[in-house]
Structure 1
Amino acid sequence: MNNRPLFAALAALAIGSISPLIVFAGSDEVVIENAWSRASIGTGRPGVAYMEIRNAGSEPVTLTGLRAEIAMMPEIHRTSTDSAGVSSMEPAGEITIGPGATVALEPGGLHAMLMRLQAPMKKGESYPLQLLFSDGGDVTVDVPILGVGARGPEGDEAS
């Protein structure tokens, strides 16, 4: 009995059912630098966190979300200014970081918005912020809380 047609059909089915290989950069290739936050005015207003997220890997990596015990709704937001000079913020969604690239979360641009604070953010304290990635991994950074008028990780106060 010639089983070649049966083997050919089974091979075609097997090959057709194989999904293409999807490669995700590992969250273990992500480096967080210069993290900082401003003190909050109570818990009625959201907090904010800034940092640089560097992909030290050779494949793109996608930031899909945030987790923080200090806030019930942490999200990445984007500040934009229209032609009339009016600024607004909106959720940025997922952020893909190319190989060797750095994405800055900074005042006036992308930033971590910490909505529904569970406790006031007090100068001199810090809190853990977890960055969640598409590969299922995460990176936790300890974010120092600077003064209300801080302008950068050095802690310079606004005049």
Structure 2
Amino acid sequence: MIRSFRFTVLAGLLAFPMAAGAGSDGIVVDAPWSRASIGTSRPGVAYMALTNTGDSAATLTGLKAKISGMPELHRSGTNADGVSTMEPAGDITIPPGETVSLEPGGLHAMLMRLTAPLEEGQTFPLTLVFEDGAEIEVEVPILAPTARGPAE
């Protein structure tokens, strides 16, 4: 079983004094995970839960990952015709006191143009970038290609 990893951005970031109260200082990241990839020709993914323990909304605007030449926030779903779809999600706002889950079949971190395969048992750093300029780096464990959640 994979342990839950928790990271918090501290209030009053010295590098971003104007960002105080903008919301990202209360973000807690739980249970990040990914699946092993099939080489580098197919994209990878990363999932996690983002909880806003602060008093104001926080907006996730992007991702950084050395393992990916093109990390993006995506949304999967099913359209009115029953066809599965996936598209860029744009910015994701996390209201105060709420949790937004990046999970299979919904919002997720899409890791396109992999620079190396995602290998089971390894980890990789993924940086979450927020509208207020704050960044949270998360160490993402890589599970089996068939994993359906962090407990597997």
Task: Give the TM bin, normalised by the shorter chain.
Answer: 0.7 to 0.9
Is 1:45 matched with 2:42?
A: yes
Match of 1:119 among 116, 119, 131: 116
Partners of 1:99 and 1:26 lie apart in 2 by 8
Change (3 A) 1:24 1:135: farther
Segments of structure 1 that go 5 or more residues without pairing to the other structure are: 1-20
Partners of 1:37 and 1:22 lie apart in 2 by 30
Q: How do 1:37-76 and structure 2 match up within 5 A?
A: 37-76=34-73
Task: Give me the TM-score of the superposition, normalised by structure 2.
Answer: 0.85
Is 1:86 matched with 2:83?
A: yes
Residue in structure 2 matched with residue 13 of structure 1 by the alignment: none
Q: Comparing both structures, which one devotes a greater share of its residues to helix?
A: 1
- Secondary structure in structure 2 of the residue aligned to 1:59: coil
Name the % identity: 60
List 4+ stretches of structure 1 deviating above 4 A: 21-24
Match of 2:143 among 134, 137, 146: 146
Match of 1:77 among 54, 74, 77: 74
Does the 8 Å CA contact 1:24/1:135 hold for their aligned counterparts? no
* Bigger radius of gyration: 1
Does the 8 Å CA contact 1:73/1:115 hold for their aligned counterparts? yes
Does the 8 Å CA contact 2:27/2:54 hold for their aligned counterparts? yes
Counterpart amino acid of residue 38 in structure 1: R
- Secondary structure in structure 2 of the residue aligned to 1:28: helix
Does the 8 Å CA contact 1:34/1:153 hold for their aligned counterparts? yes
How much is the aligned-residue C-alpha RMSD, in angstroms?
Answer: 1.5
Match of 1:103 among 100, 103, 126: 100
Partners of 1:23 and 1:128 lie apart in 2 by 25
Give 1:22 shift: 9.1
Match of 1:134 among 128, 131, 134: 131
- Secondary structure in structure 2 of the residue aligned to 1:139: strand
Q: Can you list the C-alpha shifts for 1:34-93, whole angstroms capped at 9, x where unaligned? A: 100000000000000000011110000000000000001100100120122110100000
Partners of 1:101 and 1:92 lie apart in 2 by 18
Size of the aligned set, in residue pairs, is 135
Q: How do 1:2-13 and structure 2 match up within 5 A?
A: none
Give 1:29 shift: 1.2
